[in-house]
Amino acid sequence: MASFITTCFPYLCRNYSGDDEEEVPPINDNNDIQLQTTNDEFIPRLGSKWKDERLRLKTFEEWSNENVSKEKLAKAGFIYTNINDRVICVYCGDVYCQWLKNDDPLIEHKKSFQCPFINGYDVGNLPIGEDPFKGLKRKYGHDVVDK
């Protein structure tokens, strides 16, 4: 079982700097991890780009812990802090570390009663492989151009 550290995360995630043209956004410099509620949606202070699972996964480039997969961690809402095996949830700020063999990040994270992502709220999560426009009404040229 992974260890839960705190909801007050005093570290910064290192910026991703790979060959990909889209760079992973940094965590806010003030380390202030709070949630705001707007229209019944939770908006993390870590930055809205972290809702994209693909970007969360990119933070795990230096992940060396073979006990748990980086794909499962990103899917469970975590980004890698580049400090030992510490990860932080982008939606609630909970930090976990000391992952053991066969730990399931989603099961560990479900122990957090305060996480809006784990509790099923619409936090705008974009899973890998899902159309980001799903559920949005698309506007086509004939919808916009005056006739």
Asked if pLDDT for residue 6 goes beyond 90, the answer is no
CATH code: domain of residue 57: 1.10.1170.10
| Candidate from 44-48, 83-87, 117-121 with smallest mean pLDDT | 44-48
Between 139 and 123, name the one with better pLDDT. 123
Report the pLDDT value the prediction gives residue 134, as an integer from 0 to 100: 62
- Scanning the chain, the segments in alpha helix (DSSP H) are 53-58, 70-75, 105-109, 141-144
- Counting the structural domains of the chain, the total is 1
Report the pLDDT value the prediction gives residue 93, as an integer from 0 to 100: 87
Report the pLDDT value the prediction gives residue 30, as an integer from 0 to 100: 38
Cβ burial, residue 6 (10 Å; 0-12/13-18/19+): exposed
Residue 86 lies in domain:
1-147
Asked if pLDDT for residue 107 goes beyond 60, the answer is yes
Q: For 15-33, what is the mean pLDDT?
A: 40
Q: For 71-90, what is the mean pLDDT?
A: 93
**Residue pLDDT, tens place only, 25-75:** 444 443 333 333 333 344 445 667 888 999 999 999 999 999 999 999 999
- CA dist 91 and 3 (Å) reads 18
